[in-house]
Structure 1
Amino acid sequence: MMEPGSAVSAVRSQRVLYGKEVRPALIIIKDGKIHNILPDPGDTLYTAGEVLDVGNSLVMPGIVDCHVHVNEPGRTTWEGYWTATRAAAAGGVTTIVDMPLNSIPPTTTLSNFHEKLQAATGQCFVDTAFWGGVVPGNQMELRPMVQAGVAGFKCFLIHSGVDEFPHVTDNDLHTAMKQLQNTGSVLLFHAEREIQQPVAEDGDPSEYSTFLRSRPDIMELEAIRTVAELCLQYQVRCHIVHLSSAQPLQIIRAARQAGAPLTVETTHHYLSLSAEDIPIGATQFKCCPPIRGMANQEQLWSAVKAGDIDMVVSDHSPCTPDLKRLDSGDFIQAWGGISSLQFGLSLFWTSASKRGFTLADVVRLLCKEPAQLCRLDNQKGNLSPGYDADLVIWDPEKEFKVKEENIHHKNKLTPYLGLTLRGEVQATIVRGRVVYTSGSFSPQPLGKHLLVNHAKTHAAL
């Protein structure tokens, strides 16, 4: 492998995922873009610079993880750009999109967005785009943030977990939707709603089932009913983040058939972990919405296969270990969030490969669809001439164990510790530069900020 930080002018492999086929190819890179992809008989002489020959390793587009909480500025003890983007690079993720909350200030005004950009400058090992937020009363900030290049907006229909990012009412949503009409932007929903009947929180708080009963499926069902109606009414692109329950899939299908521009993601933890396997007091498994049972998980997998779920992301939401309340094992009091940014590709492939998914499915679900959601699909998520030369080089057959010393995000607590996963990332290339190879990173961060031009992409629709 080449030195981390070096520029590559071509990559040769016996296994390049081009379109839906895996075949030998030579990827020629110029000015950080894919210039050409040549079928490679193995003896093609290409001498115009540094050729990286990766033998039989698989080459495909870098992962686009459009759901990452970096928490900087303001909560950098939880995570930060330096550590998060190194973890991303080590996992074959070449683009992240940073969520607007858990940082202080949250990305809910133009001036806060500028503060966020400042905090990220000079710290990113992979390319980084940014979500804005919709909170009560910030409707006049939305269009200026669209102009400034946020990828879209996120809102909560329930308490967000942090007081500086309050959840919205139906009135707030109508106001925001009117602002977002004809901008080409997208509104993301944390789709859980408080329900009228009180939810039982009795029971032992160190038993996972006690927490699970406190966040029943109906909370997602009711929230998604609201989202579907708004999406149809305003024809603003809407997206449901981290779907955990399979029950609302029927509402989602019906809304789409009726013409709603609605997309939906699920996460690696909902596809890899199940309620039945969570030990007593193991609060590293807590997230909201919660990890549900095995039968529900199988329905999620079927929905991913059928295309009812568009993409799979990490929802990397770390915190300091004390907030997980491991000492008491109290699921009700513990912070809800799972760290997985570095392991998404391997987690997904470990389960998906057993279920008949192909490598082309991996690219669609982890690269192309997330890039499309944030309007980066003209440069990211695709192995084609004209696209950014963002590549992950990995071995889909190789197994490895998740160990604390190999985790690059700031706080090492994760439910995946000790698991054996299939598919090891060997190197990650961002715009033609090697940012990660075999445990080492480029000496300087080589990522850049991605500002999204919705007007241009919207006009082209």
Structure 2
Amino acid sequence: MFDLIIKGGDVVFRDGVRRCDVGVKDEKITCIAEHIEDEAKETVDATGQYVMPGMVDTHVHISEPGRTEWEGFETGSKSLAAGGTTSYVEMPLNALPATTNTDALDLKLEAAPGQNYVDYGFYGGLIPGNVDDLKGLSDAGVLAFKCFISTCGSDIPGDFTNVDDYTLYKGMQKLAELDQILCIHAENPTVTDKLTEELVEAGKTTAMDYVESRPVFTEVEAVQRALLFAKETGCKLHLVHISTSEAVQAILKARAEGVNVTVESCPHYFAMTAEDVEEIGAYAKCMPPLRKKADQAKLWDELMAGNIDWLTSDHSPCTEDLKQGNVFEAWGGISGAQNNVDLMFDLAVKQRGLPVNRFVDLIATTPSERFNLPNKGEIAISKDADIILVDPNQSYTVKREDLYYKNKHSAYEGRKIDCRVTKTIVRGNVVFDLEKGIVGEPIGKLMSAK
């Protein structure tokens, strides 16, 4: 007897879509057939819906411990589940202390069990002064490392800080030895900080002024520097939340020259433009910033051409008061975990004709392979039964009261999305159902490189 059978859906495989049934036993996919006639403890009718692997979101900020009032594991993982994510990797900031040594990692490992509705793993951080801590973090099972070539952090003890070039170089050398991936937020901090200072002093604090404070070339220059260091050290590199075609092209050139590098972008760079921030306000502030319409059009060309490896949410929540004031003063981060799959399916598949199996590559298959998660990211025999149902014919409007975030604000509030995640299944367990909401108790397990 199967634990679960998903019947009659359009199942998305690596090579295309087929209408068939999927059988689950002991948390694994154990049967894929045109019709499964055996009995099951639970049967799901997926008629008229796509059946695809759940999103593997490798860029999520959960602020527990230390800033749990921003977002905790429980609320964050509920939001991910409701949005079609079945596993995520948690960034080393914005918790306090940041995950830059094994003591800080232990705090995460203690806080997470029993709170997560989806599977989870952790990053380690690279900051000035902690190169000697990288091996301990690697040995403890972090899935990758993260650093900032961009001003970040605060004066609070234990907060995350950006790297200088020497730290970047020495850190890359060490991570190459450890065969670890370094993920980089790339923006030239000297230029962006000075431009910000000049604009604020001149009283130029509109949303478009904010975009002008972080011009395209500041992303491209930092990306090129990271690529040069990676070529020199042999470090595996991943560039996060890239917002410009020019940066993507630099990455492709380096890859052709032998650099081991991948690139991600995020739904908000495709769903909104700099011009939209004037209306939406600071809820749409992020770093790098949303780009102007012409720049966004070029980024779309890169995505449709297959030049962006995968998509992440960069879910970066905060309390509502931190989104007040002008756009320069407000916290820079978008709460996006609950609207990744449906929003991008609408924009890329329905509106622009991206093949559905390529969409699955972007949200699940490619990130799971890059992060060495062999049981995730694909509907295939013996894989974890991490499955979502997506109805391409449902529409809904994003409403604050439907959000699971600890702080229920979103740049997408009031937006109509012509697609809907109707069910999220983690290792064969239904954790979200459109009619019932979040289902059952937190069953998320740690994904570790150990």
Q: Quote the Cα distance in structure 1 between the aligned partners of 2:73 and 2:301.
A: 35
* Match of residue 394 from structure 1: 390
Aligned mate of 1:27, from 22, 25, 28: 22
Amino acid at match of 1:367: A
Does the 8 A contact of 1:244 with 1:292 survive in 2?
yes
Instruction: Name whichever of 62-71 and 209-218 sits farther off.
Output: 209-218
Aligned to 1:128: 120
Task: Kindly indicate whether the alpha-carbon contact (under 8 Å) linking 1:107 and 1:113 is maintained by their aligned counterparts in 2.
Answer: yes
Structure 1 unaligned spans of 5+: 1-6, 454-461
**CA displacement at 1:398 relative to structure 2:** 1.2
Uncovered stretches (5+) of structure 2, i.e. residues with no partner:
none
Q: Deviations over 1:344-384 (max 9, x none)?
A: 011111210211202111100011122123211x1111101
**What corresponds to 2:364 in structure 1?**
367
Deviation at 1:173, TM superposition (A): 1.3
Query: How much does 1:227 deviate?
Result: 0.8
The amino acid across from 1:425 in the alignment is V
1:149 aligned residue: 141
- Which has the higher mean CA deviation after the structures are superposed, 66-75 or 172-181? 172-181
- Distance between the aligned counterparts of 1:343 and 1:204, measured in 2? 34
The answer to which of 122-131 and 242-251 deviates more is: 242-251
Number of aligned positions between the proteins:
440
Deviations, residues 268-325 of structure 1 (Å, cap 9, x unaligned): 1101100122225711111111001111111111111222211111100010010011
Task: Look up the match of 2:189.
Answer: 194
Name the structure 2 match of 1:45.
37
**Residues 1:17 and 2:12 aligned together:** yes
Q: Structure 2 vs 1, CA of residues 48 and 196 (structure 1 numbering), >3 Å: closer, same or farther?
A: closer
- 1:69-80 paired onto structure 2 within 5 Å: 69-80=61-72
Question: Over residues 11-39 of structure 1, what are the superposed CA-to-partner deviations in whole Å (9 max), with x where a residue is unaligned?
Answer: 11231113333222121112111112112
In the other structure, the counterpart of 2:161 is 166
Q: Which whole-Å CA distance do the structure 1 matches of 2:342 and 2:277 have between them?
A: 21
Shift of 1:196: 5.2
Distance apart, 1:206 and its partner CA: 4.7
Q: Is the 8 A contact 1:206 1:281 kept in 2?
A: no
The Cα of 1:79 is off from its aligned counterpart by 0.5
Is the partner of 2:338 in helix, strand or coil? Answer: helix
Could you tell me which residue of structure 1 aligns to residue 240 of structure 2? Answer: 241
Do 1:240 and 1:263's aligned partners in 2 also have CA atoms closer than 8 Å?
yes
Amino acid at match of 1:23: R
Aligned partner letter, 2:134: L
In the alignment, the residues of structure 2 paired with residue 132 and residue 29 of structure 1 have an alpha-carbon distance, to the nearest angstrom, of 34
Q: Which amino acid aligns with 2:287?
A: C
- Give, as a single letter, the amino acid of the residue that structure 1 aligns with 2:183: L
Kindly indicate whether the alpha-carbon contact (under 8 Å) linking 1:205 and 1:332 is maintained by their aligned counterparts in 2.
no
- Cα drift, residue 205 of structure 1: 4.8
Are 1:175 and 2:170 matched, yes or no?
yes
* Identical counterparts, % of pairs: 37
* Residues in 2 aligned to 1:384 and 1:281: alpha-carbon distance in whole angstroms: 41
Tell me the distance in 2 between the aligned counterparts of 1:167 and 1:253: 25
Deviations 1:26-65 (A, max 9, x none): 211121111121122xxx4211543322222221101111
Q: Secondary structure at the match of 2:392?
A: strand
Give a deviation string over 1:361-418, Cα, whole Å, max 9, x none.
1100011122123211x11111011110000012022111101111111111111000
Letter in 2 for 1:346: D
Which moves more between the two structures, 67-76 or 54-63?
A: 54-63
Instruction: Tell me which amino acid in the other structure corresponds to 2:114.
Output: G
Moved more, 194-203 or 282-291: 194-203
Moved more, 24-33 or 133-142: 24-33
Q: Is the 8 A contact 1:8 1:52 kept in 2?
A: no
In the alignment, structure 1 residue 441 sits paired with structure 2 residue 433: no
- For each residue in 1:184-205, what CA deviation from the matched residue of structure 2 results, as whole angstroms up to 9, or x when unmatched? 2100101011245942415555
RMSD: 1.6
- Aligned 8 A contact 1:204 1:210 in 2: no
Verify: 1:316 aligned to 2:312, yes or no: no
> Kindly tell me: are residues 257 and 175 of structure 1, through their superposed partners in 2, closer, same or farther at Cα, counting changes over 3 Å?
same
Query: Which stretches of structure 1, 4 residues or longer, exceed 6 Å deviation after superposition?
Result: none
TM-score by length of 1: 0.92
The normalised TM-score by structure 2 is 0.94
Q: What is the match of residue 333 of structure 1?
A: 329
Tell me the amino acid that sits aligned with residue 240 of structure 2: V
Contact 1:249 1:308 in 2 (8 A): yes
Change (3 A) 1:271 1:280: closer
Deviation at 1:245, TM superposition (A): 2.1
